[in-house]
Amino acid sequence: MIVRIVIAVFLSVVTGVCYLAGLSRLISGLLIGFGVLASLFFGILFVLPPGSERVSFSVAAPGSSWPFFLLALVLVLMIVYLFSYRTRTEVLDADGGGYEPLQRRHLQFFGGAVVLYLFSLFLPAVLLFPSDDAGGGSREHAAIMALLGATVFVVGVSLALYLFYRSSRGGTGDNPVLMKTAVPALFTVFHLDKIPALAAYLLVYSTDPELVFPEIAALALAAYIPVALFLIKTVPSDGTRR
């Protein structure tokens, strides 16, 4: 366990250092690629026979796999966009004009984004994971509560990512992309990009087989789309890296 923790910490630090070293596009592509792998993993889970004794990680109930495969396709297209298209923001950065003078509000945006991002996971937890009180309600009621929780989660994460983006606009004359590298670096060091996969994992592997909702888990995992959009929008151009 200690070795796994050390490896995870080491990898997160390496990812953050790569952002600071100017490898933003490559690392962002790899992080979005993790979302693709997570989507394919969950999709394959629901293709396999439920409760199979031959597969140790099989799910306990059947479900649809197409939402996960569709999400994987969307993320693949976003990776293609990341590596093939130079956005207008990057052109502005190359001219030294695509940034805002670093001010206190950029740090306030960052702090608010962290708080909102964490609240988006823990606040709807009772709705996302209704299996603890399953005995008091029907499956339909549990599905509605889980859907509401997943919706709150995705909306909260999206708003938090917008605040992260606003924070990343800060820079200085010497380093106009200061926050464009620092914000994604801290975002990945603390594994905030992995939160959608965590929420989907907890929903798929519910303690009660009758309360496994694949479509709702796919909705929670779809929070990778705003995460990918944030990572794409914060990639600085080659000409502005310091």
Per-residue pLDDT tens over the stretch 48-69: 776 665 555 666 666 788 999 9
Residue 96 has pLDDT above 50, yes or no: no
Q: Which whole-number Å values give the CA distances from 47 to 33, 59, 60, 201, in the listed order?
A: 21, 10, 12, 16
- How many structural domains is the chain composed of? 1
In tens, the pLDDT along 77-95 reads 999 999 887 654 555 554 4
Per-residue pLDDT at 15: 81
Per-residue pLDDT at 161: 96
Q: Which whole-number Å values give the CA distances from 30 to 35, 188, 205, in the listed order?
A: 9, 11, 26
User: Which residue range(s) make up the domain with 99?
Assistant: 2-240
Residue 126 has pLDDT above 80, yes or no: no
Confidence of residue 117 (pLDDT cuts 50, 70, 90): very high
The token pair at 203 is: 């929903």
**Contact at 8 Å (CB) between 97 and 88?**
no
**Which residue type does 105 have?**
R
Per-residue pLDDT at 238: 55
Per-residue pLDDT at 237: 67
Confidence of residue 22 (pLDDT cuts 50, 70, 90): confident
Residue 45 has pLDDT above 50, yes or no: yes
